[in-house]
Amino acid sequence: MILIIPEKNNPILPLTISVKEIKSIVNWFEHHQRSFYALGWSYLGNQGKIEELFYRAILQVHKELPKFKNSTSFEMWVLSIFIQVCRELPIDNSLKASEESIFHALQQLKEQEREMLVLTYIKGVSREEAAQLLQVSPEQIKELLFSGFQLLRKGLGNGECYQGCKEYQKLYMDYLERKLERPRKIDFEMHIYHCHNCQDDLASLQETILNFSETIETFNVPADFMENVKERVSQRENLLKQKKTKRKRIGLISASVLVLFICTGFFTGIFSKIYYSLTEENKELRVFLQEDLGERLGLEAKSNGVKIKIKSVIADEIQTLIFYEIEDTNDNNQYMINIDDGIFIEDEMKIMVANTYPMYIPPDMESDLNKKEKNIYHGKMSLRPVKENEATIQLNIKKVLKLKRNSSDSYVNMVPEEGDWKFDIPVTKKTSVEYALDEEVEIEGTAVLIDKLILAPTGTILQYGLKNEQPEKRIEMINFKNLEINNKVAEPDLYGNSYVHAQNDLRWSKFQAHFEPLFEKETNEVKVRFDSVYLSIVDNKTIDLNASKEYPQTFEYAGSTISIDKVEMGQSATVVFSNHEIKNRAYESLHYNIVTEEGDDSSMEMDHEGIIVDKNGKEYDMKKITPKIYEVMEQPRHFFTVQSTKIHGKKVTPKSLEIYGYSTTEYLNDEIELQTELIEAGT
């Protein structure tokens, strides 16, 4: 009997696994031995016991193989068996060696916390898959990851002195994994910018995560490990079938390499521009192909009537940009991929750069290409940059989103469609060029360092630094109108501003502004045009609160009359204040805290309502805005009209509203011209 395993896009997994022959299962474990060995070590801490673990797991997989169902991936099915065998073997608590200190600390965690860390960071499974394996709810996943890393940090001896704000600690994992929605992310980064406790706490936690990831990356399997395992199962192998299977697999791999070699070498030089102009309908991808920055892949996978095609991949130090096409073969629906939900990359922390975040790419339903056919969507997604110049991304997609429109052309109720699409995507990372600018200018009384220019295939980056020496006024972010390089204008990416986590010069807080790619490699100068700055103004005021009073009540602040609409006490106390008059208003949003009689032990949940106003005075409801409208607005400002806070605790009594200051936007019309100095080419 031969069982067909639906892993056609994964060359590591055998295309056929024999129920009668155990050799194919041994081969599969050998290909995956590194991640499974590290997983076993985190449980057992002893090589002899891990050999026993592999031996038992191989026998159990072979025994259960006829029961395997195609509704789940083969690897996840094997993993569930592997974990069960792990739990049956006793843990070795004798680890003392310094190089194994992280594994020793892991073994001191509770079972679910340890398993969540090793599954997501050692084995690389998605949160959803880990939750399914461990039978926990999605809400428990973040709690287990956060508490697990907190205890791991403590177990390593450096977690006692860090105390971040409880309400923001809940967001640490989502922030580090780029899962926060944009408004929440802005609020979080503004808080982190001002709160030294949270800065230290988050940095320490991130260092623990990075050390953990680096330990896993450098963790090696003993050279003779699998040989010892093979010896124990060799009597169950069939030598003739082993040689035949090996010859077939080598032939398949050789044929695949030959086809790839022919395809990559055929269309080069000047003919590629003509060829792709006639054959590639996606205009954006066409330019990349004509510039020889990528190649056609044509990888396909189909599940539940939905066919996904990976058309091409463009990779550099900024991101790994994947162009894809999704076809509904049964109906007239269009689907997109959401990188924050339903995708999983095998060994992501091993092959991709940690402490980086993919670029946000909203759906584009207005393009001519996506209006052409009702059942096909052409999209792109951004992943982290790969570490090496050559890599293979093993991408597993478990969910796509069905795009729906309402009468206002906004996207609502995007329905998830589950399936199983797997791809092995070959990646070649292209080079970038960095230029030093090192020019210090003054904006709104604050020193700004125009630091460096990065010319990369997928984008143009301007790195700048802020030296906020004025406590009463701080620049939080600069918005640029455009860059001009070699008489070419690069428009800004509205979703591309990012904080630089690796700060080499502590005098400056470094940021990166992203612009569209210009495909330039050399330049002597750059023109920088400013659009606006987002400011934080310090202006302290305290307003007493009393739930026994009748509300609303008003107070004056920053030239405006603000209404306190509600003050309620109890297990979930509430404070709501508002100001719907935005004309000539000095502030856009208030920075504040609610002080309670019980002190700082209570957690707070903040929310807001508001409108967006462009430079011409046109107003938009903040909750109804769509990416397409946002992209065409001219210099938008975000005014909060209602700000509310819920304070959770056993019994909470709001005492006062403490306002620290506010945020506002100032428009600019400045331009500077800078000379460039080459730092590094071909990075």
Q: What is the pLDDT of residues 481-493, one digit of tens each?
A: 999 999 999 999 8
| pLDDT of the residue at 22 | 81
Euclidean distance between CA atoms 599 and 560, whole angstroms: 29
Residues paired with residue 646 on neighbouring β-strands, in sequence order: 574, 605
Residue 138 in tokens: 């999605």
Residues paired with residue 645 on neighbouring β-strands, in sequence order: 575, 606
- Comparing CA positions, the residue from 110, 192, 205 lying closest to residue 150 is 205
Q: Report how far apart, in Å, the C-alpha atoms of 601 and of each of 136, 380, 494, 569, 573 are.
A: 28, 44, 38, 16, 14
82 lies in the same domain as 138: yes
Euclidean distance between CA atoms 546 and 569, whole angstroms: 9
Is residue 251 situated within a structural domain? no
405 lies in the same domain as 459: no
Residue entry with tokens 């076809």: 327
| pLDDT of the residue at 215 | 72
Is residue 422 situated within a structural domain? yes
494 Cβ neighbours under 8 A, 6+ residues apart: 630, 631
Do residues 16 and 5 lie in contact, with contact meaning Cβ atoms separated by under 8 Å?
A: yes
Is residue 216 situated within a structural domain? yes
422 lies in the same domain as 469: no
Tell me if the pTM is above 0.75: no
37 Cβ neighbours under 8 A, 6+ residues apart: 50, 219, 221, 225
**Residue 217 burial (CB < 10 Å; 0-12/13-18/19+)?**
middle
**91 secondary structure, DSSP code:** P
Residues paired with residue 603 on neighbouring β-strands, in sequence order: 648
**Residue 386 burial (CB < 10 Å; 0-12/13-18/19+)?**
buried
Euclidean distance between CA atoms 475 and 535, whole angstroms: 5
417 lies in the same domain as 448: no
405 lies in the same domain as 449: no
Is residue 285 situated within a structural domain? yes
| Last-in-domain residue among 376, 395, 428 | 428
Is residue 263 situated within a structural domain? no
| pLDDT of the residue at 238 | 47
| pLDDT of the residue at 574 | 92
| pLDDT of the residue at 1 | 34
How does strand 509-515 pair with strand 459-467?
Answer: antiparallel
Residue 210 in tokens: 């990075």
Is residue 232 situated within a structural domain? no
Could you say which residues of the chain have pLDDT below 50?
1-16, 95-99, 238-244, 246-247, 249-251, 253-269, 407-411, 683
451 lies in the same domain as 593: no
Q: Where are the beta strands (DSSP E) in 286-410?
A: 299-303, 306-315, 320-328, 335-336, 343-345, 376-383, 390-402
CATH, residue 499: 2.60.40.1640
Bond from prior residue into 552 cis (ω within 30 degrees of 0):
yes
348 Cβ neighbours under 8 A, 6+ residues apart: 124, 384
| Last-in-domain residue among 227, 243, 259 | 227
49 lies in the same domain as 107: yes
In the chain, how many H helices and how many E strands?
Answer: 19, 28
18 Cβ neighbours under 8 A, 6+ residues apart: 1, 2, 3, 24, 241
482 lies in the same domain as 393: no
Do residues 139 and 231 lie in contact, with contact meaning Cβ atoms separated by under 8 Å?
A: no
Do residues 416 and 401 lie in contact, with contact meaning Cβ atoms separated by under 8 Å?
A: yes
15 lies in the same domain as 106: yes
Do residues 87 and 134 lie in contact, with contact meaning Cβ atoms separated by under 8 Å?
A: no
Euclidean distance between CA atoms 311 and 361, whole angstroms: 17
Collapsed DSSP state (helix, strand, coil) of residue 563: strand
| Domain hosting residue 374, numbered range | 270-428
409 lies in the same domain as 495: no
Is residue 171 situated within a structural domain? yes
Euclidean distance between CA atoms 376 and 361, whole angstroms: 18
| pLDDT of the residue at 71 | 59
| pLDDT of the residue at 271 | 58
549 lies in the same domain as 463: no
- Comparing CA positions, the residue from 482, 432, 427, 490 lying closest to residue 456 is 432
Is residue 265 situated within a structural domain? no
Do residues 161 and 204 lie in contact, with contact meaning Cβ atoms separated by under 8 Å?
A: no
| pLDDT of the residue at 623 | 73
191 lies in the same domain as 307: no
| pLDDT of the residue at 21 | 72
52 Cβ neighbours under 8 A, 6+ residues apart: 89
Split into its structural domains, the chain has a count of 4
| Last-in-domain residue among 378, 399, 428 | 428
